[in-house]
């Protein structure tokens, strides 16, 4: 299906393909995968840039307004037409919804929702559109997809841009999560230096959680450990301020419940993000609830330390809407995931690459990103502390312009 129309001065073309759930079994179940092509009116013949969204389990951005939003899109459209891929299970692609009656069957199905399957979907769109080579822009998890693209189909790419998403190659998943706790400890200390009055507020709120007096939007009590997951926001530009403004509120108020629900990283609005989250980092390993196993002692129990993008088994107990997915998530935690990246291939790719590496990113560690940049020949990196993990969202025009310039050797 193909449909074209205009929004805010851009020409949008919708594409919907029926693709195999398992790309290795073309005669099996099929799913629909959606992608939206965005072009300037005079740029419909420009080369393609494929946007790979963060996540996993997040749909692509929806272009709105004039100039185009998200902010990076206006910069992209000067040089490219952009293909916004709704990764399988999200947006207008066949959604991942409520689990079925057989958790093992659901878990098997979800083994086909990682970066490797998403890249195969992108390749199907490239062939459908009759494109020989195109470029990719990977934000966060989208960068993991982009690196797999370079590993599996380097001849399909003209350039690869990474923002907060140049992943480790061949690293044990426990190493990865251990470093994220280190960075979160630093971001907690930075937060309390910026807002020294909030230590007492946070202590009081956590005590009220222990007493069952803080309720979520669904009316259920919020546990101490769930409340501490608002630390996910400390990894985002503007996130520390958002946490501060929430802690100012009366913790028994509807406004507090609303803000808390919007801040927690894992919830039923996007169950896919929770259920397959740790698998994103599994480069040929079993994850085995890595965050739970490597959690440092000072983050446990009655700690005041806020946690980040750390998934724990208790998420599927404390969040009522996630409880139906508990068995599926448990099975996937024991799944032996195949390798995502081939270091030998990556060390020989002849594709211009540029990476924005955020120095204090608590989700994708800068040291591991720099290791991967060293592996990729000709990669130009931009190590910066100007932004946290969401630099593409907070200052997208500047970030993408810098990456394009780096890849072309003009920055």
What pLDDT digit, counting tens, does each position of 259-305 carry? 999 999 998 888 999 999 999 999 999 999 999 999 999 999 999 99
Q: What does the longest C-alpha to C-alpha distance in the chain come to?
A: 61
Distance CA 392, CA 70 (A): 9
Indicate whether 353 pLDDT > 90.
yes
What element of type H or E holds 158? strand 157-163
Mean pLDDT, the chain, whole residue set? 95
* Paired tokens of 173: 């998943």
Place 195 in a pLDDT band, splitting at 50, 70 and 90.
very high
Q: Are 214 and 205 in contact (CB under 8 A)?
A: yes
Distance CA 283, CA 146 (A): 14
So what's the pLDDT on residue 173?
96
* Paired tokens of 13: 């073309």
Burial category of 249 from C-beta neighbours within 10 Å (exposed 0-12, middle 13-18, buried 19 and up): middle
Average the pLDDT over 88-111 and give the result. Answer: 94
Distance CA 368, CA 357 (A): 10
Q: What is the pTM of this model?
A: 0.96
Place 1 in a pLDDT band, splitting at 50, 70 and 90.
low
Average the pLDDT over 236-252 and give the result. Answer: 97
First to last CA, the chain: 40
Indicate whether 178 pLDDT > 90.
yes
Indicate whether 68 pLDDT > 70.
no
Indicate whether 67 pLDDT > 70.
no
* 35: three-class secondary structure by DSSP: strand
Percent of the chain with pLDDT over 70: 99
Residues in the chain: 411
Place 213 in a pLDDT band, splitting at 50, 70 and 90.
very high
* 155: three-class secondary structure by DSSP: helix
Average the pLDDT over 328-335 and give the result. Answer: 98
Q: How many CB atoms neighbour CB 288 within 10 A?
A: 14
Q: Which domains does the chain have, with CATH numbers?
A: 2-170+339-408 (3.40.50.1820), 173-333 (no CATH)
Distance CA 331, CA 240 (A): 35
Average the pLDDT over 209-235 and give the result. Answer: 96
Distance CA 181, CA 300 (A): 12
Indicate whether 69 pLDDT > 90.
no
């Amino acid at each position: 299906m193909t449909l074209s129309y205009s929004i805010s001065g851009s020409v949008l073309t919708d594409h919907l393909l029926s693709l195999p759930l398992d790309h290795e079994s073309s005669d099996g179940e099929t799913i629909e995968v959606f992608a939206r092509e965005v072009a300037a009116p005079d740029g419909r013949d420009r080369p393609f840039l494929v946007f790979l969204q963060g996540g996993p389990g997040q749909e692509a951005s929806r272009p709105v307004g004039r100039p185009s939003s998200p902010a990076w899109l206006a910069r992209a459209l000067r040089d490219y037409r952009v293909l916004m891929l709704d990764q399988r299970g999200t947006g207008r692609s066949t959604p991942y919804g409520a689990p079925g009656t057989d958790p093992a069957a659901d878990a098997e199905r979800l083994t086909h929702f990682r970066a490797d399957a998403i890249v195969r979907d992108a390749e199907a769109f490239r062939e459908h559109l009759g494109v020989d080579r195109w470029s990719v822009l990977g934000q966060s998890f989208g960068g993991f997809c982009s690196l797999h693209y370079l590993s599996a189909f380097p001849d399909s790419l003209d350039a690869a841009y990474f923002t907060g998403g140049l992943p480790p190659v061949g690293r044990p998943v426990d190493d990865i999560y251990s470093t994220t706790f280190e960075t979160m400890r630093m971001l907690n200390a930075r937060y309390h230096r910026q807002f020294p009055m909030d230590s007492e507020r946070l202590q009081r709120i956590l005590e009220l959680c222990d007493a069952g007096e803080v309720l979520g939007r669904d009316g259920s009590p919020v546990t101490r450990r769930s409340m501490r997951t608002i630390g996910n926001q400390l990894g985002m530009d503007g996130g520390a301020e958002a946490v501060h403004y929430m802690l100012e509120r009366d913790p028994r108020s509807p406004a507090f419940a609303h803000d808390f629900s919007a801040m927690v990283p894992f919830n039923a609005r996007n169950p896919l993000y929770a259920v397959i989250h740790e698998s994103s980092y599994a480069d040929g390993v079993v994850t085995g609830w890595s965050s739970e196993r490597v959690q440092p002692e000072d983050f446990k129990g009655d700690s005041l330390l806020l946690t980040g993008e750390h998934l724990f088994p208790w998420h599927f107990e404390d969040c009522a809407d996630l409880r139906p997915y508990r068995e599926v998530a448990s099975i996937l935690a024991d799944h032996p995931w195949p390798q995502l990246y081939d270091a030998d291939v990556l060390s020989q790719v002849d594709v211009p690459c540029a990476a924005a590496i955020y120095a204090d990113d608590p989700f994708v560690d800068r040291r591991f990103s720099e290791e991967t940049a060293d592996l990729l020949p000709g990669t130009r990196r931009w190590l910066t502390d100007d932004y946290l993990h969401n630099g593409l969202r907070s200052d997208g025009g500047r970030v993408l312009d810098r990456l394009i310039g780096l890849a072309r050797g003009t920055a």
